[in-house]
A and B are shown apart, each in its own frame.
Chain A
Amino acid sequence: MHNSSRRGFMGKAFGAVAGVGAVGSLVAMKKTWDPLPSVKAAGFTTLDMSIYKENQLVTEKWRGKPIFVLKKTAAMVASQTDEQKERDIVVDGSHFMLAIGLCTHLGCIPAYKGEAEGFLCACHGGKFDWAGVVTQVPPPRGFDIPPFKIDGNKVILGEVGPEYKQMKETGITL
């Protein structure tokens, strides 16, 4: 009885030491897989918004992701529904669709088929219109909008400006 309680104590003591070690090593393993500081630091891109042509899709790059920039024509701006209007980004009097060019379903890059057809994702058949609103499932929501800050005729991607903050708060983008 005396022995067995001593063994019991030794077992519990070892269990405690091993438990601390196990938790510690799990933390280390988790942290080792985190994105590196160099990856996180390279997360800002500045776009000069005065160079884009109307209804011509340009794909920029931010954090390795494609960023769609589409300058809207006057006709597009005039015809915008409420849903399309709230995603509108106005820089220096011009209206833009600015979004992460990845399908919100599983991240393929949809192709722009022109004003009438909008964007088509080849992976699972999702569709978006020229303002970035979903017109055909499976994508669960319109294109995500990257954090942006308007600075004169420039847009800085990765920084949070008041326009982006409002979009985020009203749930227009994630």
Chain B
Amino acid sequence: MAHFTKATSVKDWLNQRLAVEKIEKVMASEYWIPKNINFLWAMGMVLVITFALLVVSGIFLLMYYVPTVDEAFYSVNYTIMREVDFGWLWRHIHGVAASVVFLVIYIHMFTGIYYGSYKKGRELIWVSGMLLFVAFSAEAFSGYMLPWGQMSYWAGMVITNLFAGGSLHADGLVEWIRGDYVPAQAFLGRFFMLHVFLLPLAIMALIGLHFAALRIPHVNNQDGEEIDFDAESKKYLDGDKAGSKVMRFANDFMSKDMMVVGIFLIFFFYLVFWNYSFAMDPVNFDPADGLKTPAHIYPEWYFLWSYEILRPFNIDLGLILFGFAQVIFVLLPWLDRSPNAVPANRRGLFAIWFWVMLSNMIILTAMGKLPPEGVFSQIGLVSAVLFVVQWIALPFITAREKKV
């Protein structure tokens, strides 16, 4: 047996059994962060806090929600909203956070693209981040089913139909996913399970992987500079804090991080208390009805860009391009052939590529919300084609890039 001595303090007792001091060093006080960063580097922490808000509000909603087709709608709109004290607060936090979390994810993602934070050993951070995006998308979709309103039902119908694979007519697969010919009790039950257990579990595991992937390459910085973390941290520990290019994760970086989180939370709770309605579609306040499609079906704003890529084409091409749009971001570290890990503004053509991509995705988002008629259809078609062309062009643009 390992040798233990009589503990001199609670900390010493824990140290002997759990090596808490060492863990604290590895995770916080000797986890080194470059100094040359800006507020965009705080988005990770903002996401952690938003996820925590989702988990906590979800726990309270879960206590009153009833996952049956007859009672789900009323358990949300009557029991939780009217009977449970502060039930409205949990629902509004949950709904607003589910929407805002995607805004922050997109900011986090485009920050990574702009600063080249997917290169030189950071590929796995990018890949695990994109897997988190997929897991969050599945989580958002499954959660959207639960109030069992008109939008829940019809979004469930349309999205599960995607699995028929267009001309492949895999109707058996669609019925298997639903457990019925149409979304009904079996469907609601399994999506409830996915939303409250399996997907959150997957998200937590992926967050662990995302953080672990960050540990060895470290956080990128505003100039994409390759920092010798051993030398710089030694300088810091030897007392030259001003001369070192790095600082401790806690409490140095965390203090700034939490400052940004504080500002974010003020904005977030402003939305929760006074402007929550953007996250609550009015159509979903009608109970699900399988014999009446709402006049205009659209997904939540964060799925609109990929929905708009599906829409202008016939079903097979639409599905292929939709699938392309879903997976192509994962391949970014390999499609970008340039060795330069510097901000986009110093990378010539790539800077144009970046801003066109960002603007085009905003245009796709706007067109996805508008009815598929007249000039909007044409703008949507051009944007969707441009999106695909940009990704095909990326390896060629970046391969010609000069080393900076």
Interface status of B166 (Cβ within 8 A of chain A): yes
Chain B positions within 8 Å of A59 at CB level: 291
Interface status of B402 (Cβ within 8 A of chain A): no
The answer to whether B297 touches A138, judged by C-beta atoms less than 8 angstroms apart, is no
What band does the interface of chain B fall in when counting residues whose beta carbon is under 8 Å from A?
A: 35 or more
Interface status of A36 (Cβ within 8 A of chain B): yes
User: Which residue, A106, A109, A124, has most C-beta atoms of chain B within 10 A?
Assistant: A106
Question: Which B315-359 residues have a C-beta within 8 angstroms of A?
Answer: 315-316, 318
The answer to whether B158 touches A106, judged by C-beta atoms less than 8 angstroms apart, is yes
The answer to whether B181 touches A39, judged by C-beta atoms less than 8 angstroms apart, is yes
Give bound CA distance, A43 to B182, whole Å.
12
- Among A123, A124, A174, the residue within 8 A (CB) of B169 is A174
Interface status of B293 (Cβ within 8 A of chain A): yes
A32 to chain B, nearest CB (A): 9
Report the nearest B residue to A62, measured CB to CB.
B181
Chain B positions within 8 Å of A169 at CB level: none
Chain A positions within 8 Å of B297 at CB level: 108, 122-123
Chain A positions within 8 Å of B293 at CB level: 108-111, 122-123
A22 to chain B, nearest CB (A): 18
Chain A positions within 8 Å of B8 at CB level: none
B316 to chain A, nearest CB (A): 7
B154 to chain A, nearest CB (A): 7
Chain B positions within 8 Å of A93 at CB level: none
- Among B158, B166, B295, B313, the residue within 8 A (CB) of A107 is B158
Chain B positions within 8 Å of A122 at CB level: 293-297, 371
Interface status of A64 (Cβ within 8 A of chain B): yes
Report the nearest B residue to A66, measured CB to CB.
B291
Interface status of A165 (Cβ within 8 A of chain B): no
Give bound CA distance, A105 to B157, whole Å.
11
Give bound CA distance, A111 to B293, whole Å.
9
Q: C-beta contact mask, A24-58 vs B, less than 8 Å → 1, else 0?
A: 00000010011110010001000000000000000
Interface status of B180 (Cβ within 8 A of chain A): yes
B180 to chain A, nearest CB (A): 5
The answer to whether A106 touches B181, judged by C-beta atoms less than 8 angstroms apart, is no
Chain B positions within 8 Å of A174 at CB level: 169, 171
The answer to whether B177 touches A33, judged by C-beta atoms less than 8 angstroms apart, is yes
Give bound CA distance, A65 to B175, whole Å.
13
Chain A positions within 8 Å of B175 at CB level: 35
The answer to whether B179 touches A107, judged by C-beta atoms less than 8 angstroms apart, is no
The answer to whether A138 touches B291, judged by C-beta atoms less than 8 angstroms apart, is no
Report the nearest A residue to B169, measured CB to CB.
A174
Give bound CA distance, A111 to B292, whole Å.
9
B294 to chain A, nearest CB (A): 8
Q: C-beta contact mask, A118-146 vs B, less than 8 Å → 1, else 0?
A: 00001111000000000001111000000
The answer to whether B161 touches A106, judged by C-beta atoms less than 8 angstroms apart, is yes
A173 to chain B, nearest CB (A): 11
The answer to whether A33 touches B190, judged by C-beta atoms less than 8 angstroms apart, is yes
Give bound CA distance, A126 to B166, whole Å.
15
Q: C-beta contact mask, B360-404 vs A, less than 8 Å → 1, else 0?
A: 000000000001110001000000000000000000000000000
5 A/B residue pairs, CB under 8 Å, sorted by A: A33-B190, A34-B179, A39-B180, A122-B294, A140-B314
Which residues of A are in contact with B by a Cβ distance under 8 Å? 30, 33-36, 39, 43, 59, 61, 63-66, 105-111, 122-125, 137-140, 174
